[in-house]
């Protein structure tokens, strides 16, 4: 299962209510009244940075070591490898 950045909203009226479903944020009556926004997990930005660093680094490495058509063809596997490293490997 794809692990996406999880957003959690706590109801200010009843702290026992926590919702992680995006469709619930706007439908909760208290959220609509006070315009509450959901906080983002702090490591979501780090995962994005790791993805782009890996993608750019591996892409530049492919550009330097491979002929142009092979480097272009390698873009899809590089994107998949970068996604796996950043989001699925749990290294970060």
> How much is the pLDDT for 3?
47
CB atoms within 10 A of CB 7: 16
User: Which residue(s) pair with 40 in the sheet?
Assistant: 7
> How much is the pLDDT for 60?
96
> How much is the pLDDT for 36?
53
Domain definitions of the chain by residue range? 1-40, 43-88
Quick check: 58 and 82 in contact, CB under 8 A? yes
- Say how many CA atoms lie within 13 Å of 89 toward its Cβ: 12
Q: What is the mean pLDDT of each run of 10 residues along the chain (92 residues)?
A: 50 58 48 51 79 96 95 95 91 75
- Host H or E run for residue 55: helix 43-65
């Amino acid at each position: 299962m794809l692990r996406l950045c999880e957003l959690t909203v706590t109801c200010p009226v009843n702290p026992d209510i926590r919702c992680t479903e995006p469709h619930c944020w706007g439908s909760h009556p208290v959220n609509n009244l006070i315009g509450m926004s959901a906080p983002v997990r702090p490591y979501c930005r780090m995962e994005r940075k790791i993805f782009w660093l890996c993608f750019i680094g591996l892409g530049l490495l492919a550009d330097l070591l491979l002929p142009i058509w092979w480097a272009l063809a390698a873009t899809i596997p590089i994107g998949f490898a970068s996604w796996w490293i950043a989001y699925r490997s749990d290294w970060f």
